[in-house]
Structure 1
Amino acid sequence: MLKNDFLVVGTGLFGATVACLLSRNGKQCLVIDKRSHIGGNVYTESMNGIDVHKYGAHIFHTSNKQVWDFVNSFVEFNRYTNSPVANYKGKLYNLPFNMNTFYQMWGVTTPEQAATKIEEQRKEAGITHPRNLEEQAISLIGKDIYYTLIKEYTEKQWGRKATELPAFIIRRLPVRYTFDNNYFNDKYQGIPVDGYTKLVEKLLAGIEVKLNTDYFEDKDYFDSVADRIIYTGEIDRYFDYCFGHLEYRTVRFETEVLEGVSNFQGNAVVNYTDAETPYTRIIEHKHFGFGNQSDTVISKEFSKEWKPGDEPYYPVNDERNSLLYAKYKALADAQERVVFGGRLAEYKYYDMHQVVENALYLVDSLLK
């Protein structure tokens, strides 16, 4: 095999973007992935003519025009606006917390009335130094919204009581005193018209890609085929878990094709915020693309504790894991040929626009 300038481990958005940018600058890249498909967790596949987000909903949003122009140079994005709905024991509330939510919760109709209600509940709680997530949330938004829309949903997500979760998980809560259901504040927002897989295909066009290829099954060989390595997998796995496993939350999906049902829930995302419902949310994929198909596809999402062999989704950035990651990062920083990037290699949850921003920054630094 010819010597490559770079081996990129992982075809997710970070790995694909880095490989694309390096290739554009004349670098020979080989990209490998242990999965049978490209795209990592942004992978989409067509089911009954509907683009299905195989590993959960992904909405691209950014205020960085450079990032937005970059992804739009490969594929067309639609005008999708993320406006989730919360279902608490059969009653519906708009998200994020805005005047629609406050009207549904209390019947208030003006920003002043809503702000007064929230401030009354904050003062009544009397929390000045929040010790955990529950106290942090109540000190920000009051008890009604906390107990209806945050507490049980958060406990399902994390598998831990809210009083056992650190306060920093909810440093801020989005509160809007306008009738605006747009979840994000970013200037640009949308989803690729033909799905994220098409975007990754375009990023990797002309670059050698090997799927069903596990870097660790022949690490010595793959280390020998390139001058430098971009590693996007789990950082603790790279170092053979020498300090122990980092913890994650993972997600299980139950996806169903509902033939003859053209519209199941009327919205792409409905969160179930009560403890009795075992899943955290239902995604109806056709609404991401304004589909008018006669069938629909839904995915129920179940959050659970990660164990080796599961797909890691959300890092558990508590004190124990943060200290453990710092040990692994010190080892990673000492590597001369290997660069660690992406949410798994950096043990940090990134939105997609941050992934692209980091990839742009990394390639700039590599080419200097």
Structure 2
Amino acid sequence: MKYDYLIVGAGLFGAVFAHEAKKAGKNVLVIDKRAHIGGNIYTKEVEGIQVHEYGAHIFHTSDKKVWDYVQQFAEFNRYTNSPVARYKDELYNLPFNMNTFSKMWGISTPQEAKEKIAEQIKEAGITEPKNLEEQAISLVGRDIYEKLVKGYTEKQWGKRATELPSFIIRRLPVRFVYDNNYFNDKYQGIPIGGYTKMVEKMLAGVEVRLNTDYFTNKEKLDAEAENVVFTGMIDEYYNYCYGELEYRSLRFETEVLDEENHQGNAVVNYTEYEVPYTRIIEHKHLEYGCQGGYGNTMTESNPKTVITREYPAQWKKGDEPYYPMNDEKNNALYQKYQELAKKEEHVIFGGRLGMYKYYDMHQVIAEALKCVEESLA
């Protein structure tokens, strides 16, 4: 056999695995059906701006080992994720914090905010939430739910909140401080020059074949490698023998605008159900120090900007799957596929689709490092 590892998918999991296997002296082939590396973290330059082709990706972690690991491949900027929510003509800071509560209720102290939320929870009188709507109201009260949770969640899942199970929202982060930093993690940022350059460094010296569909050439490709690392959909690998797992998909509309600064923030969520997209990303604001809009503090600014509208979509076979629907029904079906996977001696399943789990980037890296370590042992 020509290769020790055939890695199906040139996304983050595949790139980390490939880098570590090559470092250990293994022969590696990486394939991807897309025309580019990087999977969903792929970025490309448009009008001098790094555009996140598949939605905004902000790296964040409290795991120093993972943070130190990615520093080998990129220098990170100091971007801090501070999204804004737009409900009709009202703008609110996220996550729910004192700026949010002050704008919503005209209050100024944490005690006033706590009392307001407690009063609304008591008024609702929900003791055993039967669906997502009741669960959310029992956690944060009706005002926050109606304006900032309901419409966004219904668009995201493609169902009304009263039809969604309560366990989807186990908790809603409420902060009684004036802090708009969305993440609690110690480390946060975005690679300067984009994620594609970072993945290129991970795959340096590794053979990569793009525009290559694994299932079209499966028999031939399998014959070339001793082990397969599969980062696609686990149910597709087994030809949907137990049925299809459910995923959510996304559709993106990207346009270049002749404006220096369109919305003043990288991420603006649209929480009304009637607005068909969930958010607008203005990509230049993801590049800390390069986004313009600072008046005299910057000598140069880009007169153009790039925005992307993000539309959630029902997934059907043939569409791009973005994240798994980890409800009880789908998790039970995944367990069946996982039992098949456990019997494989030379196939490793990884990433969001291979492990059917909603992983953030730092979790994908940690899992890839763990899997390659076990495989090389």
Q: Which amino acid aligns with 1:284?
A: E
Give 1:94-109 correspondences, 5 Å limit. Answer: 94-109=93-108
> In 1, Cα distance between the equivalents of 2:251 and 2:230?
25
Q: CA deviation at 1:225?
A: 1.0
Q: Counterpart of 2:343?
A: 334
Q: Counterpart of 2:233?
A: 234
Q: Which amino acid aligns with 1:287?
A: H
Q: Counterpart of 2:306?
A: 297
Question: Are positions 1:272 and 2:270 aligned together?
Answer: yes
Cα deviation 1:278-301 (Å, max 9, x = unaligned): 111000000000323110000001
> Hey, which bits of structure 1, 4+ residues long, moved more than 3 A?
none
Task: Say which is worse superposed, 320-329 or 134-143, in terms of deviation.
Answer: 320-329
Cα deviation 1:127-168 (Å, max 9, x = unaligned): 222221111111111110000000011001111011111112
> In 2, Cα distance between the equivalents of 1:45 and 1:196?
9
Q: Which amino acid aligns with 2:253?
A: E
Q: Which amino acid aligns with 1:77?
A: F
Q: Counterpart of 2:359?
A: 350
Q: CA deviation at 1:39?
A: 0.4
SS in 1 for 2:215: helix
What is the TM-score normalised by the length of structure 2?
A: 0.96
Q: Counterpart of 1:93?
A: 92
> In 1, Cα distance between the equivalents of 2:96 and 2:270?
15
Give 1:309-320 correspondences, 5 Å limit. Answer: 309-320=318-329
Q: Counterpart of 2:281?
A: 283
SS in 1 for 2:277: coil
Q: CA deviation at 1:211?
A: 0.4
Q: Counterpart of 1:113?
A: 112
Task: Say which is worse superposed, 39-48 or 320-329, in terms of deviation.
Answer: 320-329
Q: CA deviation at 1:111?
A: 0.6
> In 1, Cα distance between the equivalents of 2:263 and 2:208?
39
> In 1, Cα distance between the equivalents of 2:369 and 2:127?
41
In the alignment, structure 2 segments of 5+ residues that lack a partner are 291-300
Cα deviation 1:82-102 (Å, max 9, x = unaligned): 000000001100000000000
Question: Are positions 1:202 and 2:201 aligned together?
Answer: yes
Question: Are positions 1:365 and 2:364 aligned together?
Answer: no
Give 1:129-208 correspondences, 5 Å limit. Answer: 129-208=128-207
Cα deviation 1:314-363 (Å, max 9, x = unaligned): 21122221221111111111111101010001111100000011111111
> In 1, Cα distance between the equivalents of 2:203 and 2:36?
12
Q: CA deviation at 1:185?
A: 0.2
> In 2, Cα distance between the equivalents of 1:92 and 1:346?
37
Cα deviation 1:223-272 (Å, max 9, x = unaligned): 1111111100001110111112111111111100012x000000000000
Q: Which amino acid aligns with 1:193?
A: I
Task: Say which is worse superposed, 25-34 or 183-192, in terms of deviation.
Answer: 25-34
> In 2, Cα distance between the equivalents of 1:109 and 1:351?
34
> In 2, Cα distance between the equivalents of 1:294 and 1:23?
43
SS in 2 for 1:343: helix
CA-atom RMSD in angstroms: 0.9
> In 1, Cα distance between the equivalents of 2:203 and 2:317?
29
Q: Which amino acid aligns with 2:286?
A: F
In the alignment, structure 1 segments of 5+ residues that lack a partner are none
Q: Counterpart of 1:46?
A: 45
Task: Say which is worse superposed, 327-336 or 265-274, in terms of deviation.
Answer: 327-336
What is the TM-score normalised by the length of structure 1?
A: 0.98
SS in 2 for 1:148: helix
SS in 1 for 2:307: strand
> In 1, Cα distance between the equivalents of 2:111 and 2:374?
49
> In 2, Cα distance between the equivalents of 1:126 and 1:362?
47
> In 2, Cα distance between the equivalents of 1:363 and 1:107?
53
SS in 2 for 1:149: helix
Cα deviation 1:169-200 (Å, max 9, x = unaligned): 11011111100000000000000000000010
> In 2, Cα distance between the equivalents of 1:340 and 1:164?
32
Q: CA deviation at 1:71?
A: 0.5
SS in 1 for 2:354: coil
